[in-house]
C-alpha cells in the first residue's frame, strides 16, 4: 500500500500515521518529544513530514503509543528507511524546504486538480513566464535561486509531458489577461497552454468574468491524488503553506467540481485563450 516513488510522500504519510497514533494513545506532543529527546517543534516537523525519523526513535514512539502489531511496526519502519532517500529535486540546493516537500508529494501523485486565480498553473508555465513570476517574489531571490527554481519547475513538467500525471486545471479569466513578463512572454505562454490542452492527460477550463462571484474565488489550491492512498490538499498562502487531509480533501473536491461547473467547457476555454492571446498579447 505504501510503495510509491517519492521519499517525501513516504515521510508525509509516516508523519500522518504517527500523529494519528499519538492522538489515539492520548499522548501529548511534549511527552512524545521527551521520549525521543527532541523539542516539541521537531516532533511537529516529523509529524508534518518535513523531516524524517530514525529507527530507534521511531521504535521508542511506537512503544510509547502502545503499538504492538508487528506488521504495522515493520511497515512504518520501512517507510522511515525509504523516506531517507533523496529525490531528484535534492540537486537544487536553493529550493525552499516547503517547495521541496510539495515537489516530492506532486511527484508521487497520479492526478492533480488545480485551481488558480492569479497566475498560470506551475506545470503549464513557460520558462520566460516562470522567470518573470519567480523574479517578482517578495523574498527577492538571488539570480542563482531564480535559476534553480525555474529549472526545477520545468523538470516538474515532465510529469505532464511523459503522461505520468493527469492535470485538471481551472483558472480565472484574470490569469489570461494579466501582463506578466510583457506581450511576447504572454503570447508564448498562452500558445503553450493551447498546445498542452491537446494532451490526453491535460484538461483546461476557464471561469469567465461574466460568472461574477463564485466558490473559492479568493483562494488557489491543488488537490493531489495518490494510488491507493488518501489525497492531500495544498494551499499556498502569504504567511505559510497548508496541507489538509481527510474531510478537508472531500470538501475541496466538492468546491472544485463547482468551479468546473462555473467554467467554460474545455473546448470553449481553449477558444477563449486563443482569442485573448490574439487580441491582447501580440509580440
Question: CATH code for 7-82?
Answer: 1.10.260.40
Least confident range from 22-36, 76-90, 170-184: namely: 76-90
Give the span between the Cα atoms of 123 and 103, in whole angstroms. 11
Give the span between the Cα atoms of 134 and 137, in whole angstroms. 5
Give the span between the Cα atoms of 150 and 136, in whole angstroms. 13
Give the span between the Cα atoms of 248 and 233, in whole angstroms. 8
Query: What angle separates helix 97-108 from helix 143-156, to the nearest 10 degrees?
Result: 10
**Percent of the chain at pLDDT above 70?**
92
Bridge partners (DSSP) listed for residue 224: 112, 232
Position 7 scores a pLDDT of 72
Task: Decide if pLDDT at 88 tops 80.
Answer: no
Q: What is the pLDDT of residues 255-265, one digit of tens each?
A: 999 999 999 99
Q: Phi/psi at 214 (nearest 5 deg)?
A: -150, 170
CB atoms within 10 A of CB 180: 18
- Do 8 and 105 touch, CB atoms closer than 8 A? yes
Q: What is the pLDDT of residues 101-158, one digit of tens each?
A: 788 788 888 999 999 999 999 999 999 999 999 888 767 778 888 898 899 999 999 9
Give the span between the Cα atoms of 91 and 72, in whole angstroms. 33
Give the span between the Cα atoms of 140 and 159, in whole angstroms. 28
Give the span between the Cα atoms of 20 and 4, in whole angstroms. 21
Position 65 scores a pLDDT of 92
Q: What cell does 100 get?
A: 521541496
CB atoms within 10 A of CB 184: 12
* Domain segments of the chain as ranges: 7-82, 91-280
Helix (H, G, I), strand (E, B) or coil at 202: strand
Least confident range from 79-88, 153-162, 265-274: namely: 79-88
Q: How many CA atoms, within 13 angstroms, populate the side-chain half-sphere of residue 281?
A: 23
With cell 498579447, the residue in question is 281
The alpha carbon of 216 is separated from its chain's Cα centroid by a whole number of angstroms, namely 17
Position 3 scores a pLDDT of 38
Specify the CATH architecture of the domain 91-280: 2-Layer Sandwich (3.30)
Amino acid at each position: 500500500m505504501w510503495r510509491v516513488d517519492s521519499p517525501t510522500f513516504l515521510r508525509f504519510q509516516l508523519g500522518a500515521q504517527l500523529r494519528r497514533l499519538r492522538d489515539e494513545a492520548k499522548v501529548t506532543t511534549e511527552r512524545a518529544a521527551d521520549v525521543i529527546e527532541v523539542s516539541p517543534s521537531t516532533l511537529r516537523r516529523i509529524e508534518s513530514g518535513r523531516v524524517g525519523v530514525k529507527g530507534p526513535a521511531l521504535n521508542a514512539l511506537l512503544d510509547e503509543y502502545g503499538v504492538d502489531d508487528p506488521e504495522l511496526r515493520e511497515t512504518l519502519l520501512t517507510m522511515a528507511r525509504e523516506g531517507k532517500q533523496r529525490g531528484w529535486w535534492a540537486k537544487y540546493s536553493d529550493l525552499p524546504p516547503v517547495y521541496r516537500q510539495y515537489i516530492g508529494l506532486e511527484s508521487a501523485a497520479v492526478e492533480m486538480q488545480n485551481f488558480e486565480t492569479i497566475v498560470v498553473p506551475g506545470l503549464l508555465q513557460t520558462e520566460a513566464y516562470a522567470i518573470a513570476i519567480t523574479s517578482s517574489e517578495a523574498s527577492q531571490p538571488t539570480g542563482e535561486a531564480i535559476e534553480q527554481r525555474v529549472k526545477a519547475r520545468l523538470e516538474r513538467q515532465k510529469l505532464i509531458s511523459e503522461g505520468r500525471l493527469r492535470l485538471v486545471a481551472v483558472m480565472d479569466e484574470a490569469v489570461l489577461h494579466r501582463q506578466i513578463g510583457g506581450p511576447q512572454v504572454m503570447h508564448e505562454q498562452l500558445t503553450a497552454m493551447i498546445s498542452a490542452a491537446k494532451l490526453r492527460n491535460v484538461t483546461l477550463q476557464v471561469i469567465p468574468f461574466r460568472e461574477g462571484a463564485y466558490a473559492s474565488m479568493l483562494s488557489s489550491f491543488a488537490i493531489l491524488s495518490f494510488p491507493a492512498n488518501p489525497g492531500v490538499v495544498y494551499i499556498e498562502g502569504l504567511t505559510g503553506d497548508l496541507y489538509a487531509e481527510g474531510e478537508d480533501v472531500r470538501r475541496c473536491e466538492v468546491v472544485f467540481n463547482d468551479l468546473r461547473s462555473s467554467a467554460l467547457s474545455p473546448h470553449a476555454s481553449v477558444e477563449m485563450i486563443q482569442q485573448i492571446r490574439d487580441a491582447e498579447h501580440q509580440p
